[in-house]
Amino acid sequence: MLALGALAGVLQPRRRLGTWLFVALGVLSAAAALTRPDAGPVSALPTLAAVAAGSLTLRTILPSRSRFDPVEMSIRGRRDVNPPAQTPSDPVRRTLLTAGALTAAGGGLAYLGMRLGAGTAGSATPFALPAPARPLPPLPAGLEATVPGLSALRTPVADFYRVDTALVLPRIDAANWRLRIDGDVDRHIELTFDDLLAMPMVEADITLNCVSNPVGGEYIGSTRWLGVLTRDVLARAGVRATADQILSTSQDGMTISTPVAALTDARGALLAVAMDGKPLTREHGYPVRMVTPGLYGYVGATKWLTRLTATTYAAEKAYWSTRGWAEQAEVKTQARIDVPRRGETVAEGQVVVAGVAWSQAHQGISRVEVRVDEGPWQEAELGPDVGGHYWRQWRWTWEAHTGGRRLTARATDGEGTIQSSEIAEPAPDGASGLHMVNVRVN
Ligand SMILES: Nc1nc2c(c(=O)[nH]1)N[C@H]1C(S)=C(S)[C@@H](COP(=O)(O)O)O[C@H]1N2
Ligand SMILES: [Mo]
């Protein structure tokens, strides 16, 4: 924006091209703002104000060409036998002062706007969480207490990764929130937030991960969710047998498609209202989001959910399906090494190697093995079992000998299948390959 502002200033003396540049950018950004799904006529106001401010600024600091005419200025300078060095009436000085004041005012306003916008970023109106019909026992203590650097068994909400297309977080008032269920169903229905909370509440420990997570990456988090079963909600509308996809829509227009089967089978897909014992934060989908065990977030975890449409994969394509990502994608089994870190130098002797592993689509983790360089695979000790939809911590004690070493981990799922060692990029349906970490032993 600074560069464009400077460009406008340079262009302005030529037929007021600077003003036209502002107008052109204004039209472009007003169009962008007005075509947002939740836009109203006022969405164009900030842009109009910006164009007006920009043009006014150009007029104020570059009033006309002649004042900057170098010839005129030099004549004026010669005429002043004893020029009052730099009076405020000096056009250059006045221009600089005006421009400086306007820049400061603009910066202040921008800062104020950001503060106002961010003021409620994390907070949403709290509500009393209903009790689950069958509460789960508390989560067991994880291995992180004894292994510094290991991912906590339960990811704190503040550390939970965030991935979405929302430039501005949707601001939803739970009291006005409605969930529309339509498409190929027996009855089109609409649920209020209270309707939802009145249904049987379910607690579930589920690990969520992003399809764009590279091998060893950070786009994964695990927590205890509270919500209603997606299948209970869909049953109220009666999804017809001809539908194979539920297209879910977020307040901001983002769409995600999920197989009907994944939302209605025994895995227990949820419409969640809380994570880690507290209402969802705005970042994570307040007031209601989907959580579908075994599927990557982009095909099962719609945040700011407002609509469920029963349809078919042949008829409707979701946001990412038209942008190079697979229409359907199950989470791939993976093991990640958290400690030691890549490039770390460790002391010779006993070194704890530890991490997490997950296989939400294949009954959780039954084994994790580690090897040093091309050595034999050695079985790691597993942390507490929180169920097949949740990641599992692991740790292994290594007798480390000096030199550059490569640690590799691999997981075996609950069905006995070893994870794929074939290297695949995240696109189109999730990364695969073994996580390797190079360390130095001294
Ligand atoms: N409305 C909406 N929901 C969304 C997305 C989005 O862009 N918009 N991104 C999805 C993706 S790609 C992932 S991985 C998860 C991430 O959820 P989190 O940000 O709560 O961790 O949300 C999913 N739900
Ligand atoms: Mo994602």
pLDDT, tens digit, 9 for 90 and up, residues 389-428: 999 999 999 999 999 999 999 999 999 999 999 999 999 9
Buried b (16+ CB within 10 A) or exposed e, 38-72: eeeeeebeebeebbeebbebbeebbeeeeeeeeee
User: Using 50, 70 and 90 to split pLDDT, how confident is the model at 113?
Assistant: confident
What is the rounded distance in angstroms from the CA atom of residue 408 to the CA atom of residue 373? 8
Looking from the CA of residue 250, the nearest atom of ligand 1 is 1
Ranges 6-15, 271-280, 373-382: which has the least confidence: 6-15
pLDDT band of 82, cuts 50, 70, 90: low
- Verify whether ligand 1 is closer than 6 Å to residue 300 (CB atom): no
Report, as an integer, the average pLDDT of 135-161. 97
Q: State the pLDDT confidence band at 188, using cuts at 50, 70 and 90.
A: very high
Residue whose Cα lies nearest atom 22 of ligand 1: it is: 297
pLDDT above 90 as % of the chain: 76
Q: Is the CB of 282 under 6 A from ligand 1?
A: no
pLDDT at 40: 84
In ligand 1, the atom with minimum distance to the C-alpha of 160 is: 21
Q: What average pLDDT is seen over the chain?
A: 92
C-beta 164 within 6 A of ligand 1: yes
Query: Which H/E stretch holds residue 223?
Result: strand 220-229
In angstroms, the first-to-last Cα distance of the chain is 50
The whole-number pLDDT of residue 238 equals 98
CA of 313 to the centre of ligand 2 (A): 20
Residue 255 and residue 204 in contact, taking contact as beta carbons nearer than 8 Å: no
For residue 38, name the pLDDT band (cuts at 50, 70, 90): confident
Q: Is 296 exposed, middle or buried (0-12, 13-18, 19+ CB in 10 A)?
A: buried
**Whether pLDDT at 83 is above 60:** no
- Give dist(CA 122, CA 111) in Å, integer: 18
- Give the residue, out of 159, 163, 167, with the most ligand 1 atoms within 8 A of its beta carbon, to mutate for a pocket test: 163
- Average pLDDT on 272-299 reads 97
Q: State mean pLDDT over 1-29.
A: 91
- The first and second tokens of residue 411, run together, are 């997981």
Q: What is the pLDDT of residue 41?
A: 86
The CA distance from 6 to 9, in Å, is: 5
Q: What is the pLDDT of residues 247-259, one digit of tens each?
A: 999 999 999 999 9
What pLDDT score was predicted for residue 172? 94
Which among 177, 273, 275, 298 is the best mutation to test ligand 1's pocket, defined by most ligand atoms within 8 Å of the CB?
A: 298
* Residue located nearest, by CA, to atom 7 of ligand 1: 164
pLDDT of 322 higher than 70: yes
Overall average pLDDT of the 270-288 stretch: 97
Does 73 have pLDDT greater than 80? no
User: Residue 64: pLDDT band by 50, 70, 90 thresholds?
Assistant: low
Lowest-pLDDT range of 6-15, 71-80, 88-97, 272-281 = 71-80
pLDDT given at position 97: 86
**Closest residue by CA, ligand 1 atom 6:** 164
Region label for 149, one of left (φ > 0), alpha (ψ between -120 and 50) or beta (otherwise): left
Indicate the pLDDT class of residue 370, thresholds 50, 70 and 90. Answer: very high
User: Is residue 34 helix, strand or coil?
Assistant: helix
Residues sharing a CB contact under 8 Å with residue 14, sequence separation 6 or more, in sequence order: none
Q: Residue 184, exposed/middle/buried by CB under 10 A (0-12, 13-18, 19+)?
A: buried
Whole-number percent of the chain with pLDDT over 70 = 92
Ligand closest in space to the Cα of 223: 1
| Model confidence band, residue 58 (pLDDT cutoffs 50, 70, 90) | confident
37 lines ligand 1 (CB under 6 A): no
Ligand 1 in contact with 301 (CB < 6 A)? yes
pLDDT at residue 221 tops 60? yes
Quick check: CB of 210 below 6 Å from ligand 1? yes
Binding site membership of 254 for ligand 1 (Cβ less than 6 Å): yes
- Whether the per-residue pLDDT at 369 is higher than 60: the answer is yes
Q: What is the pLDDT of residues 225-241, one digit of tens each?
A: 999 999 999 999 999 99
Say if ligand 1 is within 6 A of residue 342 CB: no
Among 65-74, 191-200, 398-407, whose mean pLDDT is lowest? Answer: 65-74
pLDDT tens-digit profile of 157-175? 999 999 999 988 999 999 9
